[in-house]
Amino acid sequence: MCGRFFRHEVSWEEYLSYLNLFEWGEVRSTSAAYNIAPTQTVPIIRIEPSLGQPVLADAMWGLVPRWWKKPLSEKKFSTFNAKGEEAAEKATFRTSWKDRPCLVPMSGFYEWKTEASGKQPFAIGLSNRRLFFAAGLWDRATVDGAPLDSFTILTTRPNSLVGDIHNRMPLIPRQDRIRDWLQGSPDLRAAMIEPHDPDNMQAWKVGKAVGNVRSQGIKLLEAVQSD
């Protein structure tokens, strides 16, 4: 499960340096956010169907499938994560799996480990990058008469680092596979569902304040010995 993540402020120049594989549309930068939770609206990178090229666009975290016709308040099932190994077969995700992959910019994510003192949160990120991209799926539904873009983050089995904390982790494509994720076939994406290299990652204990979605700010990332 990946139920919280964080993102440092990212300039447009930084996006270009990480993703210089495409011709881009609208120029945008994104502000910092250190406690992003489901139902919040955040930027994702997706192929815009009308343009056929990648765009940085806002979407709600928690995928609403295109076939959903009821008010959003009646959606009772959780869709902020989808198991990468099962997404192609699940009714909620299988259409998006075929034609609407996306990337979710982040600087890291949080997971909780059960310890003797209770559930201890950890911040987890890449050891040599302040920005990376989790693999996801997006969709566009019509809700209450208006279009709604939304997304889910795909998860996979954990590597040895994350596995000591949690039994799932976000799917993080290698930098050289970014184009394959956004523009490759469903079969090619299926072959990419594997844990990220643990030698390229780091994890550290943080304070329990991150468990409250109202808690914000870079102080949430400060390392603690115990909490």
pLDDT one-digit tens code per residue, 208-221: 999 999 999 999 99
pLDDT category of residue 116 using cuts at 50, 70 and 90: confident
pLDDT one-digit tens code per residue, 3-60: 999 999 998 888 888 877 666 666 678 999 999 999 999 999 998 877 778 888 999 9
- pLDDT more than 70, % of the chain: 95
Name the CATH topology of 5-221.
hypothetical protein yedk fold (3.90.1680)
Name which of 40-54, 55-69, 121-135 the model is least confident about: 40-54
Question: What per-residue confidence (pLDDT) applies to 22?
Answer: 61
The domain limits of the chain are: 5-221
For 133-148, what is the mean pLDDT?
A: 94
What is the SS3 assignment for the chain? CCCCEEECCECHHHHHHHCCCCCCCCCCCECCEEEECCCCEEEEEEEECCCCEEEEEEEEECCCCCCCCCCHHHCCCCCCEEECCCCCCCCCCHHHHHHCEEEEEECEEEEEEEECCEEEEEEEEECCCCCEEEEEEEEEEEECCEEEEEEEEEEECCCHHHHCCCCCEECCCCHHHHHHHHHCCHHHHHCCCCCCCHHHEEEEEECHHHHCCCCCCHHHHCECCCC
For 119-130, what is the mean pLDDT?
A: 94
